[in-house]
Amino acid sequence: MKKKLVASLAAAMVLSVAGTSFAATNPFTDVPAKHWSYDAVTKLANAGIVDGYGDGTFRGDKTISRYEMAQIVAKAMAHSDQATAEQKASIDKLSVEFAEELEGLNVRVTKLEKNSSTIKVTGEARLRYENNDADVLSDNSLVLRSRIHLDGNINDQWSYYGRLQSENNLRGGDDGKVTMDNAYVKGNLFGTTATIGRFDYIPNGGMMFDSTLNGVNLEFGNVLKANVFYGKDNHQDILANGNSNWTNAEHPEVTGLTLDYAASKATSINGGYYKVKDIYNTDTTDFWEAGFATQLNSNWNLTGSYGESDIDVENTAYYAQLGYKGADKAKVGSYGAWVNYRNIEGFAAPRTTFDGAYTVGGQSYYDGVDSIYPLGGKGYEVGFNYTPMLNTVLGFKYADIKTTANNASNSLKTKFYQAQVEFFF
């Protein structure tokens, strides 16, 4: 559907360059339907770097010629002074790909050659302070996380993405190693979009999973989008089942299916089913969830989800969140706020996305012999983010959490504070 939007852009722009040499005959081949440039131009259009289409919805799969695409790229180049560093890198990448066609439009491409590297390098740094305030086991941390993103094209159908990451404890102690946190190829495979390698998987907003998978994901569908994935989880803190030692949950095998249905322009309904097998292949735990996301108006949004596992106790999770606007790193002065309530029992979610989801006692605890016991976490969160200058976002959140398990100590009730600043370059 991105192609129809890009086609509409091209149709509008061709009128403004009708006097060029190619406009009369247009003897040029189409950009392949799965070419990366459609997605790149659509992102630039959504950011306002290229204007010309209406409400941002997609209506069809029409392709356009390379010269029509070059007209759009030329428009983006003319507005590059409004672009962020990441958007400028995308414009540069497009100008390399369509250099010959841009030359035909008498658009000068400086300091770029068709045979030069198409690797795009961007980065981010996040400084985060967290404090857990409880009657027992209170703690706080100050951590700097740095990421370098590597993005390149293999050919018209396939691309590569890699992400280097390190975390530094600014309170002293051992720092984490620099790791290739993501490394995958992505492209068209038998009518699906395949992702193969190590990649993030955060299905349906992340209430059940926010992790990294070593495996494969196949995405297909339009109004009803489906993702099927399989692999080994890259983390050790994954819940495998409620009756075994935590060590059985290290790097478990995960199989999953997610569905996302666009019920309207403003509302989508989603669901997921996941099977998690421990490292000894002796126990498999099933998880499922169903939720929604809706844009109430131009400023307000509402999301929610409910999920369960097939473990006998402490096996349900749910949340609801109301959000207002949101900070955009490319728009100085933009801001957002949110409030949510969540109830995530100890054996419900393998690795939830919520910071401060549980008390200082954690998701559950091991008795040192042969069993683990759930603690879980429930409570509310309020947060705020703000963009004080270009490519810089400040964030603050507070959560008041207590355990869901009735037999847990009241002294574990925790007030969670988080403050952070993110830089993008």
The 10s digit of each residue's pLDDT in 211-256 is: 999 999 999 999 999 999 999 998 876 763 333 434 455 688 999 9
pLDDT at 196 over 70: yes
User: To 5 degrees, how large is the angle CA 333–CA 339–CA 340?
Assistant: 145
Contacts 24+ apart (CB under 8 A), 113-119: 117/152, 118/93, 118/152, 118/153, 119/150, 119/151, 119/152
The 10s digit of each residue's pLDDT in 252-266 is: 899 999 999 999 999
Q: Average pLDDT, whole number, for the chain?
A: 84
Asked if residues 333 and 380 have their Cβ atoms less than 8 Å apart, the reply is: no
Q: Which residues fall within 8 angstroms of residue 31, CB to CB, at 6 or more apart?
A: 37, 38, 63, 64, 65, 66, 69
pLDDT at 109 over 50: yes
pLDDT at 383 over 80: yes
Token pair 């494969």 is found at 216
The 10s digit of each residue's pLDDT in 311-361 is: 988 999 999 999 999 999 999 999 999 999 999 999 999 999 999 999 988
CA–CA separation, 182 and 401 (whole Å):
32
pLDDT band at 370 (very low <50, low <70, confident <90, very high): low
- Residue 149: exposed, middle, or buried by beta-carbon count in 10 A (0-12, 13-18, 19+)? middle
Q: What's residue 19's pLDDT? A: 42
* Integer CA distances (angstroms), 146 to 80, 180, 421, in order: 27, 12, 12
What does the block give as tokens for 211?
Answer: 């992790």
Token pair 């414009």 is found at 91
Kindly compute the dihedral angle of the four CA atoms of residues 233, 234, 235, 236, in this order, to the nearest 10 degrees.
80
**What values do phi and psi take at 198, rounded to 5?**
-110, 120
| Residue 286: CB atoms within 10 Å | 12
What does the block give as tokens for 342?
Answer: 């969540």
Q: Which residues fall within 8 angstroms of residue 40, CB to CB, at 6 or more apart?
A: 90, 93, 94
What does the block give as tokens for 110?
Answer: 């400086």
Range list of β-strands (E), 134-205 = 139-153, 158-169, 179-189, 192-201
Classify residue 191 as left (phi > 0), alpha (psi -120 to 50) or beta: left
**Which pTM does this prediction carry?**
0.72
Q: What share of the chain is helix, strand, coil (3-state, %, to 5)?
A: 15, 45, 40
DSSP H helices in 297-416: none
CA–CA separation, 41 and 64 (whole Å):
12
